């Protein structure tokens, strides 16, 4: 099973600032990585797939990068609606599909 590790667990950022979230895989997953945004009471939202491809309708301020075992999600200028929990997920080698533990982006 591929273990996904996200850091930090919590990120405190002021609106308008940049947020950088990290995700590490326990073995190479090439570029088979997705990022999701979760808000309470809402459906999870796909942000990025293929490590760097923005999903339909996702603003350009969300950028995914990396390959192999190290990945990053960057939110260039945080908007109020971006405060949420973010999960990375590998789909290179499954089952099982595995998610990281999440990073909570909170208002500083």
Partner 1 sequence: EVQLVESGGGLVTPGGSLRLSCATSEFTFSSYSMTWVRQAPGKGLEWVSSISSSSSYIYYADSVKGRFTISRDNAKDSLYLQMNSLRAEDTAVYYCARDILIFGSSGAFDYWGQGTLVTVSS
Residues engaged in binding partner 1 (CB under 8 A): 32, 34, 36, 38, 41-46, 49, 55-56, 87, 89, 91, 94-102
C-alpha span between 75 and 98 (Å, rounded): 23
Least separation in angstroms between residue 13's CB and partner 1 is 20
Which CB atom, from 53 or from 77, has the smaller least distance to partner 1? 53
From the CB of residue 7, how many other CB atoms can be counted at a distance below 10 Å? 12
Q: How far is the CB of 43 from partner 1 (least distance, A)?
A: 4
């Amino acid at each position: 099973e591929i273990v996904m590790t996200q850091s930090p667990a919590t990120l405190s950022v002021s609106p308008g600032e940049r947020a950088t979230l990290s995700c590490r895989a326990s073995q190479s997953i090439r570029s088979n990585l997705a990022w999701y945004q979760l808000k309470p009471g809402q459906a999870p939202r796909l942000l990025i797939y293929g490590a760097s491809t923005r999903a339909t309708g996702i603003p350009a301020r969300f950028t995914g990068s990396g390959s192999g075992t190290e990945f990053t999600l960057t939110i260039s200028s945080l908007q109020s609606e971006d405060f949420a929990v973010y999960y990375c997920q590998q789909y290179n080698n499954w089952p099982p599909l595995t998610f990281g533990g999440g990073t909570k982006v909170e208002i500083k």
